[in-house]
Amino acid sequence: MSVTTHLAIGTRKGLWLAHDDETGRWSLDGPHWLMQEVPAVTWAVPAADATGPGATTVPRLLVGVRSEHWGPTVAATADLGGSWQEPDHGAIRFPEGTDSALERVWQLVADPQRPGRVWAGCEPHSLWRSDDGGSSFAINQALWEHPHKKDWFPGGGGACLHTILTDPSDDDRLLVALSTGGVYRSSDSGQSWQAASRGIRADFLPGAEPDHGQCVHKVARDAGDPLRLYAQNHGGVFRTDDGGDRWVSIDDGLPADFGFTVLAHPTTPGTAWVIPLVADVQRLPPDGRLRVWCTTDAGASWAPNESGLPDDYWGVVLRDAAAVTTDGDGGALLFLGTRNGWVYTSADGGGTFTEVARHLPDVLSVRAVRV
Amino acid sequence: MAVTVLLPGPLRADAGGQRALHVDAADAGTLGDLLDAVAAAHPALERRIRDETGQLRRFVNVFVNDDEVRGLQGVDTVLPAGATVHVLPSVAGG
């Protein structure tokens, strides 16, 4: 049976879809949502055993879209962009009494354990859950009313909840990350939340090491141990082996400790990738060389990719502009998009990269699925 | 009283393709009341104009006749009989 890889590319001025039918040649379709930014995309894969009328192998794509003029929304397509469905009243609306309005959808995650469930991370800092495939979402009250909320403030991009990790070993465990705010986890399906950022630096706060308030940029879960996580922080790369009780620095061997994204291999324990930038005050690849750095020993050592990414390059890869999925054979397919509008992929675990697309607007989000 | 709402191109799809809506508004009603009536018939249109707190979106300008409502009373602006309400995108974006 043939397999196609679909890649959703959300940019500052629209969405593109790229498709590869394993020939190695990508076809590009777009723009969709022209002149609207697309900071969040997620694929929902049909159940493998679906049969009968309406059964399909086409994945459903949900997108978080924002018009500078007309505001944010969530939309979905079940036919790879041929048509879009957008609830008239808006899928995400802050309830009366919150005195808040949705500013941007930063993260959409189709829950891999529960078909029909979709998580959304939004600005202002908030977590939302849908049980109808993304047509309507309810706010997570426990996080919205968290006593730490007074200490969270907008990072450079906004007051965003940008990372949502479900736990394949325990349906009740959730982990989220906020900029700023840090890492929070729940062991009761989101009824309560505990800060889980100890050990992560907050260079922009005075005093002793904080319990919370860090500007964590992205978190990824290790393939082998659900309690092992990797974090790219606003200064520093960290790992925890206990689900966030304590984080330790793992940036020795990297050319810089700043960056926005971190990816973990979907099947190989101990393997993760980061894309370093010089520093907070110089958000550019070191020496103008865009490189993906890989660890295969959970951060004890790092090595850059061998080829395929440019030198003399002065752009960045944002937190959700990198993604990884399985290649169906135990390996990983990596994708990254730059603010200069180039999209690359690697089929050998980040050793070599090839081009998927060029000359797009600033890439904000990429996510791939193989069906 | 009848109020005419003129829509910019990007919003017409949310109003069934219409360039203008003719809304039967209450006498001495406000812009907010008018948008409530718009929301009842065209919810997707209304939420492009104002957010869920009821405030006009930052980069949407609404004129009552020739006056931009932020210089009046915002969504509390009372609409005169026969008013034309013109919705326009402001200068924004990159």
Give how far A68 is from chain B: nearest CA, Å.
6
Tell me which residue of A282, A228, A222, A294 sits closest to A258, measured CA to CA: A282
Question: Measured between CB atoms, which of B11, B43, B51 is closest to A101?
Answer: B51
Give how far B67 is from chain A: nearest CA, Å.
19
Average pLDDT over residues A293-301: 98
Taking CA A163 as the corner, what is the angle to CA A193 and CA A305, rounded to the nearest 5 degrees? 140
Tell me which residue of A370, A333, A364, A315 sits closest to A14, measured CA to CA: A364
What would the CATH number be for the domain defined by B2-89? 3.10.20.30
A24-65 pLDDT, tens digit per residue, is: 789 999 999 999 999 999 999 877 666 666 677 899 999 999
Non-local CB neighbours of A307 within 8 Å, separated by 6+ positions = A351, A352, A353
pTM value is 0.96
Provide the pLDDT for residue B92. 75
Give yes or no for B48 touching A (CB within 8 A).
Answer: yes
- Asked if the Cβ–Cβ distance from A67 to B51 is below 8 Å, we say no
For residue A274, the one-letter residue type is V
Residue B89: closest CA among chain A residues belongs to which residue?
A69
Give yes or no for B93 touching A (CB within 8 A).
Answer: yes
ipTM: 0.94
DSSP B33: H
Cα separation of A90 and B43, whole Å? 9
A196-249 pLDDT, tens digit per residue, is: 999 999 998 888 889 999 999 999 999 999 999 999 999 999 999 999 999 999
Residue identified by tokens 């699925």 is A369
Residue B48: closest CA among chain A residues belongs to which residue?
A70
Provide the pLDDT for residue B27. 76
Q: Residues of A with CB below 8 A from B45's CB?
A: none
Structure tokens at A200: 């992560």
Tell me which residue of A346, A269, A273, A274 sits closest to A309, measured CA to CA: A346
Provide the pLDDT for residue B67. 97
Percent of chain A with pLDDT over 70: 98
DSSP A45: P
Phi, psi torsion values for A60, nearest 5 degrees: -95, 135
Non-local CB neighbours of A232 within 8 Å, separated by 6+ positions = A216, A217, A218, A219, A259, A260, A261, A262, A274, A319
- Three-state DSSP at A52 gives coil
A129-185 pLDDT, tens digit per residue, is: 999 999 999 999 999 999 999 999 998 889 999 999 999 999 999 999 999 999 999
Q: Residues of B with CB below 8 A from A100's CB?
A: 53
| Residue boundaries of the structural domains of chain B | 2-89
For residue A77, the one-letter residue type is T
Question: Measured between CB atoms, which of B43, B57, B92 is closest to A71?
Answer: B57
- Asked if the Cβ–Cβ distance from B11 to A70 is below 8 Å, we say yes
Tell me how crowded residue B24 is: count the other CB atoms within 10 A of its CB.
8
Residue A100: closest CA among chain B residues belongs to which residue?
B53
Give yes or no for B11 touching A (CB within 8 A).
Answer: yes
- Asked if the Cβ–Cβ distance from B52 to A93 is below 8 Å, we say yes
Helix segments in chain A, DSSP class H: 141-144
- Whether A41 and A26 have beta carbons less than 8 Å apart is answered as no
Provide the pLDDT for residue A46. 79
Provide the pLDDT for residue A23. 81
- Whether A250 and A216 have beta carbons less than 8 Å apart is answered as no
- Whether A162 and A178 have beta carbons less than 8 Å apart is answered as yes
Provide the pLDDT for residue B13. 96
A331-353 pLDDT, tens digit per residue, is: 999 999 999 999 999 999 999 99
Residue A13: closest CA among chain B residues belongs to which residue?
B94
Percent of chain A with pLDDT over 90: 89
- Asked if the Cβ–Cβ distance from A102 to B11 is below 8 Å, we say no
Give how far B77 is from chain A: nearest CA, Å.
21
Q: Residues of B with CB below 8 A from A68's CB?
A: 59, 92-93
Cα separation of A240 and A247, whole Å? 4
Q: Residues of A with CB below 8 A from B44's CB?
A: 86, 88-90
Bridging pattern class, strands A126-130 and A138-139: antiparallel
pLDDT higher than threshold 70 for residue A274: yes
Average pLDDT, chain A: 95
pLDDT higher than threshold 80 for residue A122: yes
Average pLDDT over residues B13-34: 92
Average pLDDT, chain B: 94
Residue identified by tokens 């009373």 is B73
